[in-house]
Amino acid sequence: MNEMHLKFLSRSENENFARNVVAAFALPLNPTLDELSDVKTAVSEAVTNSIVHGYRACEGWITLMCRTDGDTLHIEISDDGRGIEDVEQALTPFYTTLPDEERSGMGFTIMQTFMTTFSVVSEAGRGTTVRMSKQFGARATEDAR
C-alpha cells in the first residue's frame, strides 16, 4: 500500500499537473496504456469540474489523495467550492449548469464509465468530493466478463 496527498490552486494549468501526478503514482501497479489513459481522463474531468463548477470565477484549493491497495488505485478529489444542490440530477448524462459555455454535461458519465467504482458527495455551499477507483490487470478484465 502507498498513499499520497496533494493540494493545489483551482487554476486550469493545474489540471494537466494533477492527471500526470496520478499517472506517475499509478505506474508501480503496471497499468496498460488504456488503463492509464482512463485514469488520466477521469482525473482531468474531476479537477476540471472543481475549477469550472466548484469555484467558477474565483480561486480555491483542490485536494487530491491517492492510495494503492493491491492492484487497485483509489482516488479522491475534493474542493470547498459551491457544491452541488442536486447530485442525482448532476449525474444525469448531458446535464450542465453552464450551457452557455458549451459544457457537454458528460464529466460524471465519463468518470463512471472509465473507472471501476465512482461516487460523489456534495453539499451546496460547502464543496464536493469525488471518489473513484480503478482496478488494474487480469483480475479487472475477468471481473468485467
What is the number of other CB atoms lying within 10 angstroms of the CB of residue 27? Answer: 9
Contacts of 104 (CB under 8 A, 6+ apart): 94, 96
Q: Return the active site residues.
A: 45, 49, 103
Q: If you count DSSP H runs as helices and E runs as strands, how many of each does the chain have, helices first? A: 5, 5
Q: E strands along the chain, which residues?
A: 2-9, 61-69, 72-79, 117-123, 127-135
In the block, residue with C-alpha cell 461516487: 119
Nearest to 78 by CA among 66, 69, 86, 88: 66
Query: Is the CB of residue 27 less than 8 Å from the CB of residue 71?
Result: no
